[in-house]
Structure 1
Amino acid sequence: MAQAKGNALGALGKLTELRQRIFFVIGALVVFRLGSFIPVPGVNPEAMTRLIQGGGGLLNMFNMFSGGSLQRFSVFALGVVPYISASIVVQMMGSVVPSLQALRKEGEAGRRTMTMYTRFGTVGLSAFQAFGIAAALQSQTAAGGAPVVYTPGFGFILASVVGLTAGSMFLMWLGEQITERGIGNGISLLIFAGIVAGLPGAVSNTLGMASNGELSVLRLIMVVGLVLAVTAFVVFMERAQRRITVNYARRSGGQRAYMNQTSHLPLKINMSGVIPPIFASSLLMFPATAVSWFGAGHQSRWLQGLTQAIAPGQPLYEIVYAVLVIVFAFFYTAIVFNSQETADNLKRSGALIPGIRPGRATGEYIDGVMTRLTGVGAIYLVLVCLVPTFMQNYWHVPFYFGGTSLLIIVVVVMDFTAQVQAHLVSHQYESLLKKANLRRN
C-alpha cells in the first residue's frame, strides 16, 4: 500500500513538473504579447499603421512574424529576425571557416562559444536594422500627408536604436529561457505566437465577408477544406523519413566473436525546414520594400519596373520564387548536413550500409540519397508555398496564412507535441525502473 502511494506521488510530481513547464511557456508568451504594445517614443501610431498596411513587401511579412509589433513600432518591432539571421550566418560560417569548424567539434564548450558569437551578431544586426528603420522613418509620410515621426533628429534615432536593440536582446533571452525551462524551441514559439496573434482577426474578417455575401458559402467551404488538406500534407511530409539500413557489429565474447545489430539512419525529406521560403520571400520582396521606403522618384523608375514584374500574382514571380526555393533548399541542406562526416561517424562506430564499402563510398551513397530527398523536399516546399498565393490572387480569398507561416505553425506544433510526449514517456520509464528496483530489493 505504501509502495503504491509512493509511486502515485512520484507520478504526480512528474506531472506537476510538466505542468510548470507549460505554465512557464504560457507566461513567457503573455510577456511577449504585452511587450508588443509598448511603443518606442516619437512615432505617430496611426500614421505608422497606415504606412505598414500600405507598404507591402518585407514590411508585411516582418509585421506578421512580430505579431503586429512593427506597425505599432513597439520595442519588439524587430522580433527575433536579427537572432535568426545571426544564427544562420554563424552556422554558415561554421561550415566554411576552419577555426569555426574546429569549434563545432569541441562539444559543449564549442557550442557555448558559437552561441556567444551568435549573441554578438544579434546585437550588431539589431543595432544596424534599428538605425536603418529609424533613419528611413524620419522622411516617411502616411496616406493623407501625416508624418510618421513627430520630431525627427538624433534623439529619435538614438531612442529607436536603444529601444529596438534592447527589445531584440530581451526576446533572444526570453526564447532561451523558454527552451531551458519550458517545452519546445523558444525562438520558434515566439514566432508562432506572433503569427497566430492575427488569426482571430483574420477569421472574423473572413466570416464577415461570408455573411455579407462577398464570399460565397461554397467557396468558404472549399477554402477550409483546402487549408485542412494542405495542413495534413505538411504534417505527412514533415514526418516522412528515408531510413537507410545500417548494420552494427559489436564484440559479444564467448564462442561468437561478433553479434550483428541492425538499425536505421533516418534522413528527413525536408532537411532545410522553412529557411528556403524565408530567403526567397526576402529577396523577392526587397524591391517592393525599397520603392515604398525610398520613394518613386526618377532614380527609382527601374526599381518600380522590376517591382511590377515580380509582384505577387505575376507569372515571373511564381517562376522566380520556385527557382529560389529549390536553390536555397539544396544550399542550406548542404550546409547543415555533411554526408562524408556522417559516413566517417558510421565507420568509427563499426557500422556499415549493406552492399556499400565503408568510408568514401558510403559518403557518396548517402549524398546521392540526400540529393534525391532534397529534390522532393524542395518541390514540396514550392507546392505548399504557392497554393496560398493562388488562393489569394486568383480566388480573391482573404487567406491569412502564407506558405511560410503555415510551415512554421505546423512544425512548431509538431515539435511541441513531440516534446510533451517525450516528457510523459520518460516519466513512465522512470516509474517502471523504480518499481523494478523496489522488487529486486
Structure 2
Amino acid sequence: MKRFFQTIKNIFSIEDLRVRILNTMGFLIIFRLGSYIVLPGIDPAALTGAPQEGILALLNTFLGGSFSRASIFALGIMPYISASIIVQLLTVAVPYFQKMQKEGDSGRKRLNQITRVLTILITGFQSYGYIRGTIPNEAIINPGFFFYFSAIAILIGGTMFCMWLGERITDKGIGNGISMLIMIGIVSRFPGSIIDEAVNNRGLSGGIIFVIELLALFAVVMGVILITQATRRIPIQYAKQVVGNKLYGGKRDFIPLKLNSAGVMPIIFAQALMFIPALVGGIWRDSEAGAYIGSTFSDFTSWQYNVVFGLLILLFTFFYTAITINSNDIADNLKRNGGFVPGVKPGKQTSEFIDTVLSRITLPGAIFLVIIAVMPAFAVIAGVGQNFAQFFGGTSLLILVGVVLDTLQQIESYLLMRHYEGMMKSGRVKGRSQFAAA
C-alpha cells in the first residue's frame, strides 16, 4: 500500500503528466455531462428508458446511456469510426487515396478533412434512422419538419463535438482519445450492471451462481490480458563494426510481434458497421425485408449476427495489421543499422520472413479475438443477465483492457523518463502500442 501511494505521489509530481491527467479528466467530465442533455423537442418522461435487449442495448452501453436518453451525444463517436473505416479502406483500394496518404502532413490533413465530411454525411443518415426507429412517437412533443431538421443538426453537432473531444484527449491528455470516450461510456454502465445481476441472483443458489459468474469474468479478463500481451519474438543479430581502434555492435536483440497487433480496433470497426443494419431496419420497419433485417441484426445472440460480426473482425484484424506493421520498413531499418535475422538474408528475404511470421500469428490472434467478441452471446444463452453479459467478454471487455493497458503504459513511460520507479514491481507495463520496433 505504501508503494501504491508513493507511485501516485510520483505521478502527480511530474507537471506535464499531471496536466495531461487533469485535462483528460476534464474532457471526460464534459463528455459525460453532454450525455445527459436531452434533444430539444423530446419529453424525457415519455422515453421508455434504455433498450433492454439486442444490439441497441449494446450500443447504449458503449455510449454510457446517452442513446436511451436521446441526448445530444446519442450517436457518440460511432459515425466517425465508420467514416475512418471507409477512408482507410479507400487508402488501400484506390490509387488516388494511396498517393494522398504518401504525401506526408499535407496528405494526412486532406484525408482528415475527407473523414470529417464523411462523418457528417454518415451522422445525418444515422440520425434520421435513430429518430425514426428508436425514439417513441409519444416522446416527440411537436413532430414535424422543423423538429427532424433541428434534431438531425444537433446530433451531427454532438458527434462532431465528441470527435473534437477525442482529438483533444489525444493531443492534450493521455492515450487514444476515441478509445477513451468509448471506455468511459462502458465504465459508467458497469456498476449498475453488476448490482442488477446481484439483485437478480437472490437466495443461496442465486448467490452461488453469481459467485461463479464473477469467477468466470475474472478468468475471461486474465485470458484477454494474456492474448493482448502475447508476443512472437524474432531474434536479431547486429553485425560488429570496427571504428578506429574500437569494436562496436555485435549485440543481440529481437522484434516483438504481438499475437494481436491490431489491438481493439478491429472490434471497434466491426461493431460500428454492425449498428448500421439495425438502424436501416428501423427506417424501413414497415416493409417485410426491413423488419427481418432489423429483428435479425438487433439480436446479438442470433447466429446471423455473430457470423457476420466474426467475419468482419477477421477481415479488419488482417487489414489493420497490414496497415500498421510494414515488414518492408522493418527490413530496411534493420539493413540500414547493420542488423539481420540469423539464417535469413537482409533485404527482401527478411521482409518476406517477417511477413510470413506475422501472417501465421495474426490468424490465431484473430480467431481468439472472434471467440472473445461473441462470448457475451453465449453468456446470455447460458442465463447471464444481458447487461452484465456485455462485460463478460466481447467488445466491452476488450476495449476496457486495451485502453487501461495503454494508459498505464503511457504513465509508466513518463515515470521512467523522470527516473522514477515503474508502476509494477515485477516488470514493465506493456500497452498495445509496443510492437514491431526494430
Gap change, CA 1:234 and 1:364, over 3 Å in 2: same
Of 206, 227, 231 in structure 2, the residue corresponding to residue 237 of structure 1 is 227
Q: Relative to structure 2, which stretch is displaced further, 320-329 or 39-48?
A: 320-329
Is 2:180 aligned against 1:189?
A: yes
Distance in 2 (alpha carbons) for counterparts of 1:315 and 1:343:
42
Q: Is the 8 A contact 1:56 1:288 kept in 2?
A: no
Q: Which of 112, 121, 126 is matched with 1:124 structurally?
A: 121
Query: In structure 1, how many angstroms separate the alpha carbons of the residues matched to 2:259 and 2:62?
Result: 25
Tell me how far 1:228 sits from its aligned partner: 0.8
Q: Secondary structure at the match of 1:78?
A: coil
**Aligned position for 2:285:** 295
CA 1:395–1:102 in 2, change beyond 3 Å: closer, same or farther? same
Q: State the Cα distance separating 1:111 from its structure 2 match.
A: 3.9
Change (3 A) 1:94 1:14: farther
Percent identical among aligned pairs is 39
Where in structure 2 are there 5+ consecutive unaligned residues? 1-9, 421-438
Match in the other structure for 1:353: 341
Which residue of 2 is the match for residue 434 of structure 1? none
Q: Which residue does the alignment assign to 1:93?
A: 90
SS in structure 1 at match of 2:346 = coil
1:67-106 paired onto structure 2 within 5 Å: 67-106=64-103
Q: Is the 8 A contact 1:14 1:427 kept in 2?
A: no
Match of 1:169 in 2: 160
Corresponding residue for residue 157 of structure 1: 148
One-letter identity of the residue aligned with 1:25: T
| Distance in 1, Cα, partners of 2:275 & 2:83 | 20
Q: Is the 8 A contact 2:264 2:402 kept in 1?
A: no
Cα distance in 1 for residues equivalent to 2:244 and 2:288: 86
Q: Does the 8 A contact of 1:55 with 1:292 survive in 2?
A: no
8 Å contact from structure 1 (residues 248, 262) kept in 2: yes
Query: Is the Cα contact below 8 Å between 1:199 and 1:400 reproduced in 2?
Result: no
Q: Read off the aligned partner of 1:26 and give its amino acid letter.
A: M
- Map Cα deviations across residues 287-323 of structure 1 (whole Å, 9 max, x no partner): 555444432544556647x829x95445565555444
Partner in structure 2 of residue 385 of structure 1? 373
- TM superposition shift of 1:374: 0.7
Q: Does residue 335 of structure 1 match 2:333?
A: no
Moved more, 282-291 or 228-237: 282-291
Tell me: CA distance 1:106–1:319, structure 2 relative to 1, closer, same or farther (3 Å).
closer
How far 1:98 moved relative to its partner?
3.7
TM-score under structure 1 normalisation? 0.81
Q: 1:177 to 1:252 in 2, by over 3 A?
A: farther
Q: 1:223 aligns with which of 210, 213, 222?
A: 213
In 2, the alpha carbon distance for the partners of 1:193 and 1:36 equals 12
Hey, what does 1:439 align to over in structure 2? none
Task: Sort the Cα spacing of 1:97 and 1:292 in 2 relative to 1 into closer, same or farther, 3 A.
Answer: closer
TM-superposition CA deviations, 1:167-197 (whole Å, max 9, x none):
1121111112212222222111111111111
Alignment of 1:253-268 (within 5 A): 253-255=243-245, 259-268=249-258
Match of 1:33 in 2: 32
The yes-or-no answer on 1:277 pairing with 2:267 is yes
Identify which range, 266-275 or 110-119, moves more after superposition.
Answer: 110-119
**Structure 2 vs 1, CA of residues 298 and 30 (structure 1 numbering), >3 Å: closer, same or farther?**
closer
Matched, 1:307 2:304: no
Once residues 81 and 255 of structure 2 are traced to their aligned partners in structure 1, the CA distance between those partners, rounded to angstroms, is: 28
AA partner of residue 202 (structure 1): S
- Preserved contact between residue 11 and residue 18 of structure 2 (Cα < 8 Å): no
CA contact (8 A) 1:209 1:215 kept: no
Question: Which residue in the other structure is 1:423 paired with?
Answer: 414
Q: Relative to structure 1, is the Cα distance of residues 149 and 250 closer, same or farther in structure 2, using a 3 angstrom cutoff? A: farther
What residue in structure 2 maps to residue 56 of structure 1?
Answer: 54
Deviations 1:340-373 (A, max 9, x none): 3433343344432111122222222111111111
**AA matched with 2:227:** M
Partners of 1:168 and 1:152 lie apart in 2 by 23
Letter in 2 for 1:30: I
Per the alignment, do residues 377 and 248 of structure 1 end up closer, same or farther by CA in structure 2, a change over 3 Å counting? same
CA distance in 2, matches of 1:349, 1:120: 42
> Contact 2:66–2:73 at 8 Å: present in 1 too?
yes
Aligned to 1:432: none
> Structure 1 pair 116/295, CA: closer, same or farther in 2 (3 Å)?
closer
Please name the residue that 2:430 is paired with: none
Contact residue 344 and residue 359 of structure 1 kept, 8 A: yes
SS in 1 for 2:208: helix
Work out the CA distance in 2 between the residues paired with 1:314 and 1:96.
32
Offset at 1:36?
A: 0.6
Q: SS of the counterpart of 1:263?
A: strand
Computed over aligned residues only, the root mean square deviation of the Cα atoms, in angstroms, reads: 3.2
Larger CA deviation: 125-134 vs 310-319:
310-319
Task: State the distance in 2 between where 1:248 and 1:177 align.
Answer: 40
Matched, 1:133 2:123: no
| Structure showing greater Rg | 1
CA-to-aligned-CA distance 1:246-302 (integer Å, 9 cap, x gap): 233475412567633332222111122234334555566655554444325445566
The residue type paired with residue 85 of structure 2 is I
Displacement of 1:409 after TM fit? Answer: 0.4
Task: Decide which structure has greater helix share.
Answer: 1
CA contact (8 A) 1:47 1:141 kept: no
Contact 1:45/1:72 (<8 A) preserved: yes
Q: Which residue of structure 1 lines up, in the alignment, with residue 62 of structure 2?
A: 65
CA distance in 2, matches of 1:177, 1:326: 31
Q: Which is further off, 255-264 or 146-155?
A: 255-264
CA distance in 1, matches of 2:268, 2:313: 9
1:404 equivalent among 395, 400, 405: 395
Question: Is contact 2:81-2:272 (8 Å) kept?
Answer: no
Provide the rounded CA distance (Å) in 2 between the counterparts of 1:332 and 1:13: 35
Number of aligned residue pairs: give it: 409
Matching residue of 1:435: none
1:337 Cα deviation after fit: 2.9
